[in-house]
């Protein structure tokens, strides 16, 4: 039921930026990560706000997985990039 608390917009995206909306407590050292379909970590940054902009302009078109991990929560969602 975590989908209501975690969203990536716009998705699919042709923009250079997406916004990650989450209710994860930002003082829990949560991480915002992007993986490719092979499971390789592409990007990782600290989650510092509940509406966090994420630069994806350097990623090739394709399917990615956006993950938010904190000590007690783990959300994942597919992100489709169409440059």
Task: Give the residue-averaged pLDDT of 53-79.
Answer: 94
For the chain, the C-alpha Rg in angstroms (whole number) is 12
pLDDT above 80: residue 26 = no
**What mean pLDDT, rounded, does the chain reach?**
91
Task: Give the residue-averaged pLDDT of 43-55.
Answer: 94
CB 61: neighbour CB atoms within 10 A? 10
pLDDT for the residue 83: 87
How large is the greatest C-alpha to C-alpha distance in the chain, in angstroms? Answer: 34
pLDDT above 50: residue 1 = no
pLDDT above 70: residue 71 = yes
Provide, for the chain, the percentages of residues in helix, strand and coil under a 3-state DSSP scheme, each rounded to the nearest 5: 5, 55, 40
**SS3 of residue 50 by DSSP:** coil
pLDDT above 80: residue 30 = yes
């Amino acid at each position: 039921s975590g989908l209501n608390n975690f969203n990536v917009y716009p998705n699919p995206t042709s923009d250079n930026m997406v916004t990650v909306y989450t209710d994860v407590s930002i003082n829990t050292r949560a991480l915002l990560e992007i993986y490719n379909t092979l499971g390789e970590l592409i990007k990782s940054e600290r989650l510092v706000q509940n509406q966090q902009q994420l630069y994806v302009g350097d990623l090739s078109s394709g399917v990615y997985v956006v993950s938010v991990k904190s000590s007690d929560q783990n959300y994942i969602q597919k992100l489709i990039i169409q440059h």
